[in-house]
Structure 1
């Protein structure tokens, strides 16, 4: 069986290139595409919606949620997914990037369950998901954010508030490897 092809949709985040690199390091074909690229023009077995500076500049990201392939939202991508599907995003109590201890709430979750019981992450909480959309389960929390991760396993939609692609995040590569498994 050939390895999956996973596309990273670039929402103009400072770490987007590292997301593509993490996927390639895991042995899959990966390409970064601009967020104005129509989903219909992309041939992929999975999609990562990258982080970025503004939820108002996510281009055509909504199309990728209907592409019938697993989707992983990271930071802004996570927030966009929640808001687009009926959840709530609000301002966090803590801006700036920081080292955050995240507690895993569901050790059976296909994306973050293997990280249980907890993991150290690098995250910004200027904005955060405050209420998950219908069909989603909260799968991780921290003392600064109630929705550090969420999953809808029926639709293969996943989101994390933190940045698994940066070296400051413990076991971040494992998050990408778990996502790749969902794309196989």
Structure 2
């Protein structure tokens, strides 16, 4: 059975990320942001959303495990910042429904959502510049980098929250991530 660990970066929807995976038959558990990464045995890692970079604990250490990582909102920002990208305040701010355009229909995480989908996202902070080796896989009128991937490193991120009911086809994002984990 596929095992995916959700690292809780103090987000209000972390439990929904675990539930979405569990409902798909994935063995999953939530671990605290300050849990040591070196003792984790998993086929994949989800870095949850959360309020700010000051409370990410050991999340950066999970990027170096031999398992794909999906960063959601703050989790995506952690990946970008740790790999040399730039994260800054968003122009829009809080939560909103956003029409996201998928710009890479070959991407294993979000490509199946092409050409566009409606999502629920927070843009208080966002990735402003991609790290080397990453490609932008989705954009919107609100945010230039709504999703990013580095397939070679197995690092993926979405600015939006696929775990909430307001996001269309959010379950498909999790299904695609599980498939990535199973093929790793």
TM-score by length of 2: 0.98
Query: What displacement does 1:56 show?
Result: 1.2
- Are 1:66 and 2:64 an aligned pair? yes
Counterpart in 1 of 2:130?
Answer: 132
Distance 1:101 1:168 in 2: 12
- Structure 1 segment 126-165 matched on structure 2, within 5 A: 126-165=124-163
Q: Deviations over 1:96-148 (max 9, x none)?
A: 11000000000000000000000000001010001110000000000010000
Q: Tell me what 1:110 maps to.
A: 108
**Any gaps of 5 or more consecutive residues in structure 1?**
none
The residue aligned with 1:27 is: 25
Counterpart Cα distance in 2 of 1:156 and 1:84: 14
**Residue 68 of structure 1, CA deviation:** 1.3
Distance 2:162 2:171 in 1: 7
The SS at the match of 2:81 is: helix
The Cα shift of 1:4 comes to 1.1
TM-superposed CA distance for 1:17, in Å, is 0.2
Shift >6 Å, 4+ stretches? none
TM-score by length of 1: 0.98
Q: Which residue of 2 aligns with 1:36?
A: 34
State the SS of the aligned residue for 1:65: helix
